[in-house]
Structure 1
Amino acid sequence: MEARLEKLRDSRVVVTGGAGLVGSRLVRLLRRAEAEVTMLDRLDAYPDAVHSSLFGVDSLGAKLVVGDVCDREAVRRVLAGADYVVHAAAYADVAACTRRPDIAFRANVQGTQVVLEEVAASEVRRLVLVSSAAVYGNGDPSIRGPQVFREDQRLLPVSVYANSKLWAEHQARLLLSGPDTPEYAVLRYFSVYGDPQVPKPGSHSWMVAWLSMQARLGRPMRLNGGGVQVRDLVHVEDVAAATALALVEDGMAGATVNVGTGVPTSVREVGELIAPHFPRAHFVTTPLPEGDPLGGYAATEHCSELLRWRPRIDVRAGVERYVRWLSATPHAVPKWLAAEAAA
């Protein structure tokens, strides 16, 4: 992969949302490829300590611009002279978007519109738009059990978050498909996990982090709907690699590709991988949250063909890495979560 990223040497790359989990791993990879990187981030998705000590934003060797993708002037300034853009900034949580659709609209729709318009008017070579497997919703309602999600199937989003991501995909095609516009590529991330991921209050996403921290604190691992939902868990390091490659692979121009492993894993199976590491681990079944897809896994043929990429870290190894990291990094447990456990 390193040889393929040689194209990025001395190039200028802008990563919106670059201080987040995926963004910070991506920026680190781009810097290793000797790209000049600018991050545009509001720095409000997590406490400062998460960005600095866990995500290592201060030590990435990239320029950090604290700003909002809805601020057209800020976006225009960071895009000046850029060769590539990864648009990863988003209000990126199903439950949070359901509670606050106004914030989701501003960040995921209005902010994306600003980025797309400014990219279209720039000298950028290619934009990589980060989308989500949430656009598939529950898939084909006539199919019972786990189902594979293919890039060309009918999309039936069932949440505010998914709607905003699907809109962004359509808008990228509309604004960046002309003969004189920059190229674009769309990546549909499946369930991203891996250290140094930490949960957010009121969220039911990031299940490896959630379940691991609950088990470590001796709290019940909550299995929404009994944990029968299937997810395609893809490690954050693999996601960062796929995203970097999407900037330079010729076959990705105008393409939409799943970023997943192609392997279905139930929530309960994840819990059972975590439980042996924590003596007080136990389970409790809770209702399925509104808008939470029943699940599926990625078709990976397009990813293999167009991106020429396959994930390297399987679920068992990735979960093992996460629980070991958590055991060695006790301050990773959010204060609000530790306080709830102590109450």
Structure 2
Amino acid sequence: MSLEQLSGKTVLVTGAGGLIGSRITSQLRRLGARPISVCRLDAYPPEVYRDRFGINTTEPDFIVGDIAGPELMSEAISGCDYVIHAAALADVAACTRRPLDAIDTNIIGTQRVLDAVAASDQVQRMVFVSSASVYGNGNGTSPEPVHDHVPAQFTEGAAVSPVSVYGNSKVWGEYQTAAVLGGVGTSYAVVRYFSVYGEPQVVKENSHSWVVAWFAMRAALGLPLHLNGGGHQIRDLVHVDDIATGTLYALVAPRAHNETVNIGTGTGTSIWQVAELVRAHYPDTQLVETPMPPGDPEGGYASVERMEELLGWRPTTSIEEGVARYVAWLRANPSAIPEWMPRAAAA
């Protein structure tokens, strides 16, 4: 199986203005496909989208709009062969603070996308982007569940047990995708992303997601790295290039039809280990233990057997290489550090 079969195809990508969506559309263009991009572009200042993610809103195939609107998706999907639904309020802390916003985007918006796909007679498959957050703390997902900092291995067939608003919304999206598209016979695949990182990821204020970017930016400013709960949480960190590639394999792999697949490395890394990897590049950085924020799971790592079997693929970027790449990018682009970060630290 080759991604080259996407050449000449039209692919609708929701959430195309973000880190992951912009990477997916870039890969699609390199493959000779035509991506149709949809995004609200309200999560960052305009210069972040333009300078960091390479978004050009004057392109005719880039649609600035809200997927939760009643007409947008049915109009955008016309003529599309595939759909990747990546749009979401994806910040765990933001979903916890603003659950109605999470419902609007992650539930109402997803239903609009599903209705449009179900009504299309051209779409060959939709990929619904889910998250490892559906596993919560791993209760019942592993023969060795989390206790005394023993990480869980998350397997697709295990029961889900989310501990956050964001995780709850993704569980709903998974079941609703199966119900709506399964009901009309349209092929779908669900991909559960583990912890995505990589250049040019830019952190958001009042968030505790995206630990590599947070730690690298704080270290570059000479600020201490905060280890929430001591930094024992486990994350399966997947570089955004691998995330984009895995998503495209899920879009075309015959065996991914109506399947749920982890997109992870199969290796768990603790938050403390991430801090040490960053500190190797900034040796004077201090580590400070801080309280655990609400909705932050203990975490674990992906079981990748199904991914390798169904997609015939696995990630290639190690966490050591990925952190080094991010630090090198940040040193070359120091202006990427948001202006609010040093001000917030001083306050």
TM bin (shorter chain): over 0.9
Query: Which residue is 2:229 aligned to?
Result: 225
Which amino acid letter does the alignment assign opposite residue 136 of structure 1?
Y
For the residues of structure 2 that align with 1:340 and 1:292, how far apart are their CA atoms?
Answer: 22
Query: Which residue is 2:335 aligned to?
Result: 331
Q: Give the deviation of 1:278 after TM superposition.
A: 1.9
Distance 1:198 1:340, change over 3 A: same
Q: Give the deviation of 1:289 after TM superposition.
A: 0.8
Query: Which residue is 1:192 aligned to?
Result: 196
Query: Which residue is 2:270 aligned to?
Result: 266
Query: Which residue is 2:123 aligned to?
Result: 124
For the residues of structure 2 that align with 1:85 and 1:204, how far apart are their CA atoms?
Answer: 30
Distance 1:283 1:62, change over 3 A: farther
Establish whether residue 173 from structure 1 lines up as the match of residue 171 from structure 2: no
Distance 1:143 1:203, change over 3 A: closer
Q: Is the 8 A contact 1:18 1:39 kept in 2?
A: yes
Question: What 5-or-longer segments of structure 2 have no aligned partner?
Answer: none
Percentage of matched positions with identical amino acids: 52
Which amino acid letter does the alignment assign opposite residue 154 of structure 1?
A
What SS does structure 1 have at the residue aligned with 2:87?
A: coil
Q: Is the 8 A contact 1:130 1:187 kept in 2?
A: yes
Q: Is the 8 A contact 2:57 2:64 kept in 1?
A: no
Query: Which residue is 1:96 aligned to?
Result: 94
TM-score under structure 1 normalisation?
Answer: 0.96
Tell me how many residue pairs correspond in the alignment: 340
Establish whether residue 162 from structure 1 lines up as the match of residue 160 from structure 2: no
Which amino acid letter does the alignment assign opposite residue 138 of structure 1?
N
Equivalent residues in 2 for 1:22-171, closer than 5 Å = 22-58=20-56, 63-122=61-120, 123-140=122-139, 143-144=146-147, 145-171=150-176
Q: Give the deviation of 1:59 after TM superposition.
A: 9.4
Query: Which residue is 1:291 aligned to?
Result: 295
Q: Is the 8 A contact 1:234 1:261 kept in 2?
A: yes
Q: Is the 8 A contact 1:27 1:60 kept in 2?
A: no
Which amino acid letter does the alignment assign opposite residue 181 of structure 2?
L
Render the CA deviation track for 1:3-22: whole Å, top value 9, x for unaligned: 71121111110000001000
Q: Give the deviation of 1:181 after TM superposition.
A: 3.1
Q: Give the deviation of 1:338 after TM superposition.
A: 2.9
For the residues of structure 2 that align with 1:269 and 1:211, how far apart are their CA atoms?
Answer: 11
Query: Which residue is 2:252 aligned to?
Result: 248
Q: CA RMSD in A?
A: 1.5
For the residues of structure 1 that align with 2:302 and 2:127, how far apart are their CA atoms?
Answer: 19
Q: Give the deviation of 1:234 after TM superposition.
A: 0.3
What SS does structure 2 have at the residue aligned with 1:187?
A: strand
For the residues of structure 1 that align with 2:80 and 2:69, how far apart are their CA atoms?
Answer: 17
Q: Is the 8 A contact 1:28 1:60 kept in 2?
A: no
Which amino acid letter does the alignment assign opposite residue 153 of structure 1?
A
Which amino acid letter does the alignment assign opposite residue 149 of structure 1?
F
Please say which of residues 130-139 and 55-64 is displaced more in the overlay.
55-64
Q: Is the 8 A contact 2:57 2:63 kept in 1?
A: no
What SS does structure 2 have at the residue aligned with 1:234?
A: strand
Q: Give the deviation of 1:279 after TM superposition.
A: 4.4
For the residues of structure 2 that align with 1:139 and 1:283, how far apart are their CA atoms?
Answer: 27
Which amino acid letter does the alignment assign opposite residue 242 of structure 2?
D
For the residues of structure 2 that align with 1:95 and 1:143, how far apart are their CA atoms?
Answer: 22
For the residues of structure 1 that align with 2:159 and 2:234, how far apart are their CA atoms?
Answer: 19
Please say which of residues 151-160 and 141-150 is displaced more in the overlay.
141-150
Render the CA deviation track for 1:295-320: whole Å, top value 9, x for unaligned: 10000000000011100000000000
Q: Is the 8 A contact 1:27 1:62 kept in 2?
A: no
For the residues of structure 1 that align with 2:271 and 2:36, how far apart are their CA atoms?
Answer: 36
What SS does structure 1 have at the residue aligned with 2:130?
A: strand
Which amino acid letter does the alignment assign opposite residue 155 of structure 1?
V
Q: Give the deviation of 1:284 after TM superposition.
A: 0.5
Distance 1:338 1:83, change over 3 A: same
Q: Give the deviation of 1:61 after TM superposition.
A: 7.3
What SS does structure 2 have at the residue aligned with 1:227?
A: coil
